[in-house]
Structure 1
């Protein structure tokens, strides 16, 4: 079964749905604003059906990101729940974009395969932001690593 179908939205596995539904309900229980409660109730219904449209995916990714970053999902649901949440996150827009940026960097790094590495440096740019620089006799790559993902900062041949 595909995660995305033409006009079908994002399909969730049973494990992904269970974690997402429980986390959404926890946030809904704490929400005070009527607009937020309405948005979360709509998300809850979509999760019960197991398919998310774009607006529900955007709402859910905020919940999943926070739960993963804070360690709540692992603490409450254990490693299997965390793995389900990570699989789900990679289906959501920001998670899919992060996965794509990682693939692009991996492809660029593959160009260094078989070459002698002359230097490798990791520089802290700011909170949670780093630049990894790799140099061979023929090329130099810099990769930016931060909350937005991994991106090529520069390539010199």
Structure 2
């Protein structure tokens, strides 16, 4: 389903897409960002450009570029747009699955929490409660349940 944009949001996306297009060396990628900039200028992103929009917003939001250039309000607005892209919907699904795994511990007394580095920008959170041990992976790719162990 195409995404309709408010004027200010459309302007920001068009600017960022044009900036990326100017920096990209690969012709196909440059063309995709140029098409995204043009679509944003028209305030509507068609389905075929939603993955490109998701890529643009992922890069600009995670790098801090949007917050630094435009501010927290714009960062929030573009984060909401990101959630409507395929990449954003996938991330939301990962969060829902992680919350479902955490729900298995709801109402149980937490016995231990442990956070460990699993690599650059990646973390592993272990939660022990009620004889259960849930391990979540957290990082740039999202969140996911790694394992759920039950004490017998």
TM-score band by shorter chain is: 0.7 to 0.9
Q: 1:26 aligned to 2:34?
A: no
Correspondence for 2:65 among 72, 89, 92: 72
Correspondence for 2:94 among 101, 105, 108: 101
Give structure 1 stretches of 5+ with no counterpart: 1-7
**TM norm structure 1:** 0.83
CA contact (8 A) 2:15 2:37 kept: no
Equivalent-residue separation in structure 1 for 2:146 and 2:27 (angstroms) = 43
Compared with structure 1, are the counterparts of its residues 11 and 115 closer, same or farther at alpha carbon in structure 2 (3 Å cutoff)?
Answer: same
Correspondence for 2:33 among 25, 30, 40: 40
Once superposed, what is the RMSD of the aligned Cα atoms?
1.9
- Give 1:107 deviation, angstroms: 2.0
CA contact (8 A) 1:58 1:92 kept: yes
**TM norm structure 2:** 0.86
Correspondence for 1:51 among 41, 44, 48: 44
Matched residue count: 150
Compared with structure 1, are the counterparts of its residues 28 and 99 closer, same or farther at alpha carbon in structure 2 (3 Å cutoff)?
Answer: same
Large movers: runs of 4+ above 6 Å: none
